[in-house]
Amino acid sequence: MPTPAYVPPETMEVLFSRDQLAQRVRAIGQQISADYAGRPIVLIGVLKGAAIFLSDLARSITVDNTFDFVAVSSYGRAKVSSGQVKLIKDIDNSIEDKHVILVEDILDTGLTLSYLRQLMLQHKPASLKIATCLDKPDRRLVPIEADYVGFKIPNHFVIGYGMDFAERYRGVEDIRIFPEIPAGH
Ligand code: IMP
């Protein structure tokens, strides 16, 4: 497939500014710190989209925490309803008996997090919760909800703050609306 034309991010509408994001992520960090007071947590980020959200979130959490990453590939998202998700990088350290929070950039159809939640439960964590920066509830194909949500949004395709279109724009500081909904989404 040819590389799509580059759209300069500064031409795209800002959905959440860097200040709004910083404020909301700090609030989630405080909530998590209160909920887990006295209990160490393992944050597990889903590469690559969640890397920036996780790095800000980890720095807003005041209880003992470590972090790890998983990576998944999904194919034919638009054509399937059964969750064609494959693990391509597993966790490095055991999470048995640990309090785990899966950290994702966007909860969209729910296929990725449903798959990862089942997989992580097989490792027998003491508890398992989900934190997502954005939630698009209208797009859900499987029933799953996050415990910590930055912002609920309608069905926009967004980029920035870790999120990409064709691997671009992850470093854009604000979350912006991509001018078209990509094919297959
Ligand atoms: P799900 O399995 O459909 O819930 O997919 C979640 C993944 O789809 C996210 O982690 C993103 O990688 C990707 N995704 C969904 N919506 C968007 C978007 O608006 N912008 C960028 N990536 C998205």
108 assigned to active site: yes
Instruction: Give the residue, out of 53, 79, 108, with the most ligand 1 atoms within 8 A of its beta carbon, to mutate for a pocket test.
Output: 108
Confidence of residue 140 (pLDDT cuts 50, 70, 90): very high
pLDDT of residue 185: 78
**Sign of the dihedral through C-alpha 82, 88, 94, 99:** negative
Atom of ligand 1 minimally distant from the CA of 50: 10
Read off the pLDDT of each residue in 79-105 and give the average, rounded to a whole number.
87
Read off the pLDDT of each residue in 160-180 and give the average, rounded to a whole number.
96
pLDDT of residue 80: 43
DSSP state of 182: P
Atom of ligand 1 minimally distant from the CA of 164: 21
Confidence of residue 166 (pLDDT cuts 50, 70, 90): very high
Structure token pair of residue 125: 């964590």
Q: Catalytic residue, from 108, 135, 147, 174: name it.
A: 108
Note whether 74 and 111 are within 8 A (CB). yes
Expressed in angstroms and rounded, the spacing between residue 26 Cα and the centre of ligand 1 is 23
Residue 171, pLDDT above cutoff 90: yes
Expressed in angstroms and rounded, the spacing between residue 175 Cα and the centre of ligand 1 is 13
